[in-house]
Amino acid sequence: MSLFRLIPDKHDVLQDQNIPEEKYALRRKIYIIIFQSSTPAGKAFDVGLFILIIANIILLILESVASLAARYHELFRFLNTFFMIVFTVEYLLRLYCVKKPKVYAKSFYGIVDLLSVIPPYAEFFLPNWHMLMIIRSFRLLRVFRIFRMVRFLDESRYMVLSLVRSFNKILVFLFFIVLLTVFLGTLMYVLEYEHNPGFHSIPQSIYWAIVTITTVGYGDIAPITAVGKIVASFIMILGYAIIAVPTGIMSASLVSKYREMDNDDKTCPNCKNKNHASDALFCKKCGTKLA
Amino acid sequence: MSLFRLIPDKHDVLQDQNIPEEKYALRRKIYIIIFQSSTPAGKAFDVGLFILIIANIILLILESVASLAARYHELFRFLNTFFMIVFTVEYLLRLYCVKKPKVYAKSFYGIVDLLSVIPPYAEFFLPNWHMLMIIRSFRLLRVFRIFRMVRFLDESRYMVLSLVRSFNKILVFLFFIVLLTVFLGTLMYVLEYEHNPGFHSIPQSIYWAIVTITTVGYGDIAPITAVGKIVASFIMILGYAIIAVPTGIMSASLVSKYREMDNDDKTCPNCKNKNHASDALFCKKCGTKLA
Amino acid sequence: MSLFRLIPDKHDVLQDQNIPEEKYALRRKIYIIIFQSSTPAGKAFDVGLFILIIANIILLILESVASLAARYHELFRFLNTFFMIVFTVEYLLRLYCVKKPKVYAKSFYGIVDLLSVIPPYAEFFLPNWHMLMIIRSFRLLRVFRIFRMVRFLDESRYMVLSLVRSFNKILVFLFFIVLLTVFLGTLMYVLEYEHNPGFHSIPQSIYWAIVTITTVGYGDIAPITAVGKIVASFIMILGYAIIAVPTGIMSASLVSKYREMDNDDKTCPNCKNKNHASDALFCKKCGTKLA
Amino acid sequence: MSLFRLIPDKHDVLQDQNIPEEKYALRRKIYIIIFQSSTPAGKAFDVGLFILIIANIILLILESVASLAARYHELFRFLNTFFMIVFTVEYLLRLYCVKKPKVYAKSFYGIVDLLSVIPPYAEFFLPNWHMLMIIRSFRLLRVFRIFRMVRFLDESRYMVLSLVRSFNKILVFLFFIVLLTVFLGTLMYVLEYEHNPGFHSIPQSIYWAIVTITTVGYGDIAPITAVGKIVASFIMILGYAIIAVPTGIMSASLVSKYREMDNDDKTCPNCKNKNHASDALFCKKCGTKLA
Angle between helices C154-192 and C226-242 (to 10 degrees): 160
pLDDT of residue A72: 92
CB-closest option in A237, A256, A284 to D280 = A284
Give the integer Cα–Cα distance in Å for C117 and C142: 10
Q: Sorting pLDDT into bands at 50, 70 and 90, what band is D5?
A: very low
pLDDT at site A27: 82
Q: Do B273 and A251 touch (CB under 8 A)?
A: no
Least confident of B197-211, B236-250, C274-288: C274-288
Q: What is the pLDDT of residue C8?
A: 41
Q: Which residues of D touch B217 (CB under 8 A)?
A: 216-217
Q: List the single range of A207-211, B124-128, C185-189 with lowest mean pLDDT.
A: B124-128
Chains that touch C (3 or more CB pairs under 8 A): A, B, D
The answer for A109, left when phi > 0, alpha when psi is -120 to 50, beta otherwise, is alpha
Give the gap in angstroms from C-alpha C26 to the nearest C-alpha of chain B: 50
Is C61's pLDDT higher than 50? yes
- C-alpha span between A52 and B100 (Å, rounded): 46
pLDDT of res. B267: 66
Does residue D191 register a pLDDT over 60? yes
Residues of B in contact with D273 (CB under 8 A): 285
Chains that touch B (3 or more CB pairs under 8 A): A, C, D
Q: Which residues neighbour C90 within 8 Å (Cβ) at sequence distance 6 or greater?
A: C34, C49, C113
More confident residue, D126 or B18: D126
What pLDDT does residue D8 have?
Answer: 41
Instruction: List Cα–Cα distances, C153 to B146, C4, C6, C148, C274, in angstroms.
Output: 40, 7, 9, 10, 22
Across the range C20-29, mean pLDDT stands at: 72
pLDDT of the residue at D4: 37
Q: What is the rounded average pLDDT of the residues C90-109?
A: 86
Distance (Å, whole) CA A97 – CA D114: 66
pLDDT at B4: 37
D282 by DSSP, 3-state: which? strand
Closest residue to A186, CB basis, from D65, D140, D285: D140
Nearest chain B residue to C241 by CA distance is B246
* pLDDT score for A103: 86
Model confidence pLDDT, tens digit, residues A230-283: 999 999 998 888 888 888 888 888 887 776 665 555 666 777 666 555 556 676
Q: Is the pLDDT at D178 greater than 80, yes or no?
A: yes
Query: Using a CB-CB distance cutoff of 8 angstroms, which residues of chain C are in contact with residue A218?
Result: 219
Chain D neighbors of A171, CB-CB under 8 A = 155
8 Å CB contact of C245 and B277: no
A156: how many CB neighbours lie within 10 A of its CB?
A: 19
> pLDDT at position D184, please?
92
Chain B CB contacts of A177 under 8 Å are 237, 240
**What pLDDT score does B137 carry?**
79
| Rg of chain B in Å (alpha carbons) | 28
Mean pLDDT along residues C139-155: 71
**How far A106 CA lies from chain B's nearest CA (Å)?**
23
Residue C94 has pLDDT above 70, yes or no: yes
pLDDT bracket for residue C284 (50, 70, 90): low
A-B CB pairs within 8 A amount to 146
Q: What is the mean pLDDT of each run of 10 residues along chain A (291 residues)?
A: 38 51 75 80 87 90 89 91 91 86 86 85 72 78 75 64 76 84 91 91 93 91 92 91 84 77 61 61 68 59
- Please indicate whether residue D18 or residue A272 has the higher confidence score (pLDDT): A272
Residue A150 is predicted with a pLDDT of: 64
Question: Which long-range contacts link C93-98 to residues 24+ away (Cβ below 8 Å)?
Answer: C93/C30, C93/C34, C94/C34, C96/C27, C96/C30, C97/C14, C97/C27, C97/C28, C97/C30, C97/C31, C97/C34, C97/C35, C98/C11, C98/C13, C98/C14, C98/C31, C98/C35
- Minimal Cβ distance to D239: which of C57, C206, C214: C214
Which candidate in A212, A221, A251 is best for mutational testing of the C interface (most C CBs within 10 A)?
Answer: A251
The CA distance from D62 to C17, in Å, is 78
Give the per-residue pLDDT at D1.
32
- For chain A, counts of helices (H) and of strands (E): 13, 0
**Top mean-pLDDT range of A121-130, C136-145, D2-11, D96-105:** D96-105
Q: Which pLDDT band holds residue B162 (cuts at 50, 70, 90)? A: confident
Chains that touch D (3 or more CB pairs under 8 A): A, B, C
Instruction: Tell me the nearest-neighbour CA distance from B289 into chain A, angstroms.
Output: 18
Which whole-number Å values give the CA distances from A19 to A32, B114, D135, in the listed order? 17, 72, 75
Nearest to D161, CA basis, from A248, C84, A284:
A248
Q: Flag if C250 and D248 touch (Cβ within 8 Å).
A: yes
Q: What is the DSSP string of B43-94?
A: HHHHHHHHHHHHHHHHHHHHHTSHHHHHHTHHHHHHHHHHHHHHHHHHHHHH
Instruction: Report d(CA A177, CA A183) in Å as an integer.
Output: 10
Contact B143 C193 (CB under 8 A): no
Chain C partners within 8 Å of B64 (Cβ): 189, 201-203
| Cβ A14 vs Cβ A106: under 8 Å | no
User: What's the rounded Cα separation, in Å, for the pair C151 and A251?
Assistant: 28
The pLDDT confidence band at residue B13, using thresholds 50, 70 and 90, is: very low
- Contact criterion met (CB < 8 Å) for B215 and D219: no
Chain B interface, mutation test: which of D251, D273, D276, most B Cβ atoms within 10 Å? D251
The conformation of residue C282, written as its DSSP 8-state character, comes to B
CA distance D199 to D253: 39
Does D278 score more than 80 pLDDT?
no
Task: For residue range D64-106, list pLDDT tens digits in order.
Answer: 888 998 999 899 989 988 999 999 999 999 888 888 888 888 8
| Mean pLDDT, residues B48-64 | 89
Query: Which of B258, B285, B286, B288 should one mutate to test binding to chain D, selecting the residue with the greatest count of D CBs within 10 A?
Result: B285
Do C247 and B249 make contact, defined as CB atoms within 8 angstroms?
no
Determine the distance in angstroms separating the CA of D50 from the nearest CA of chain A, rounded to an integer. 13
Q: Write the residue in D189, D202, D247 that is nearest to C247 by C-beta.
A: D247
Give all chains having 3 or more CB-to-CB distances under 8 Å with chain A: B, C, D
What does the pLDDT read at residue D129? 66
Q: Give B-chain residues touching A61 at CB under 8 angstroms.
A: 182, 186, 202-203, 206
**D174 contacts A241 by C-beta, under 8 angstroms:** yes
Q: Which residue has the higher pLDDT, C58 or C9?
A: C58
Q: Give me the mean pLDDT over the B163-181 stretch.
A: 82
**What distance in Å separates the CA atoms of residue A55 and residue A63, rounded to the nearest whole number?**
12
> Are C248 and B258 within 8 A, CB to CB?
no
- What residues of C are in contact with residue B198 (Cβ under 8 Å)? none
Shortest CA gap B253–chain D (Å): 13
pLDDT confidence of residue B11 = 47
Give residue limits of the domains in chain A: 10-148, 162-254
- For an interface test with B, which of A135, A214, A245 has the most B Cβ atoms less than 10 Å from its Cβ? A214
Q: How far is D247 from chain C (nearest CA, A)?
A: 7
Q: Which residues of C have a CB under 8 Å from any CB of A?
A: 215-219, 247, 251, 255
- Given a contact cutoff of 8 angstroms between Cβ atoms, the answer to whether A156 and D30 are in contact is no
Q: Pick the residue with more confidence: B69 or C128?
A: B69
Report the C-alpha gap between C133 and C66 in whole angstroms.
13
Give yes or no for residue D40 having a pLDDT over 80.
yes
CA C175 to chain CA centroid, Å, is: 21
- Indicate if the pLDDT at residue D21 is higher than 80: no
For range D117-130, the mean pLDDT: 75
Rounded distance between C-alpha atoms, residue A168 and residue A177, angstroms: 14
Closest CA to C213 of D233, B170, D199: D233
Taking all residues of chain C, what is their mean pLDDT, rounded to a whole number? 79
- To 10 degrees, what angle do helices A108-117 and A73-97 make? 150
Q: Which residues of A touch D203 (CB under 8 A)?
A: 226, 229
pLDDT (mean) for D53-62: 90
Residue-level pLDDT at A273: 64
- The pLDDT score that the predictor gives to residue C50 is 87
Least Cα separation, residue C175 to chain A (angstroms): 24
Instruction: Say if residue D232's pLDDT is above 90.
Output: yes
DSSP result, B158-172: HHHHHHHHHHHHHHH
Give the whole-angstrom CA distance, residue C233 versus residue B177. Answer: 12
Name the residue with higher pLDDT: D151 or C268.
C268
Looking at the predicted structure, is the pLDDT value of residue D225 above 60?
A: yes
How far does the CA of residue C181 sit from the closest CA of chain D (Å)? 11
Out of B143-152, D67-76, D259-268, least confident range = D259-268
* CATH architecture type of domain B162-254: Orthogonal Bundle (1.10)
- Give this prediction's pTM: 0.83
The model's confidence at residue C154, banded by pLDDT at 50, 70 and 90, is: low
Q: How confident is the model at residue D2 (pLDDT cuts 50, 70, 90)?
A: very low
Nearest to A251 among C217, C219, C251 (CB): C251
Which pLDDT value is given to residue A5? 36
pLDDT tier at B233, thresholds 50, 70, 90: very high
Chain C residues touching residue A220 (CB < 8 angstroms): none
Of the two residues C224 and D285, the one the predictor is more confident about is C224
- What is the arithmetic mean of pLDDT over D13-42? 71
pLDDT at C179 over 90: no
Cα(A246)–Cα(B243) distance, integer angstroms = 9
Write down the architecture of domain C10-148 according to CATH. Answer: Up-down Bundle (1.20)
Q: Which amino acid is at B261?
A: M
